[in-house]
Every structure is written in structure tokens, then in C-alpha cells.
Structure 1
């Protein structure tokens, strides 16, 4: 169970990073 939870958290963190990159790109576009 612990291993599965760890994998889920890794995937969740990965999606969060992707969302942050997308948000950052959108903000940069708005500034320009």
C-alpha cells in the first residue's frame, strides 16, 4: 500500500509541476 501511495504522490506532484508551467506560460503571454 505504501509503495502505491508513493507512486500516486509522484504522479500528483508531476501534474502539479505541469500545471505550474502552463500557468507560468499563460501569465507570460498576458504580460506581453
Structure 2
């Protein structure tokens, strides 16, 4: 049970990180 929660949290964290990187990249693209 705990393991599945940890895996779900890791997946969500990765998704948030990818979204943040994408937004950062687009904002950099916009500035330059």
C-alpha cells in the first residue's frame, strides 16, 4: 500500500517537473 502511494507521488512529481520545465522553456523562448 505504502509502495503504491510512493510510486504515485513519484509519477505526479515527475509530471509536475516536466510541466515546469516546459513552461520555463516556453517563457525563455518568448523572451529571446
How big is the alpha-carbon RMSD for the aligned residues of Structure 1 and Structure 2?
0.6
Extract structure 1 runs of 4+ deviating beyond 2 A: none
What are structure 2's unaligned runs of at least 5 residues? none
Q: Could you state the TM-score of these two structures normalised by the residue count of structure 1? A: 0.87
What are structure 1's unaligned runs of at least 5 residues? none
Q: Could you state the TM-score of these two structures normalised by the residue count of structure 2? A: 0.87
How many residues get paired? Answer: 32
1:13 Cα deviation after fit:
0.3
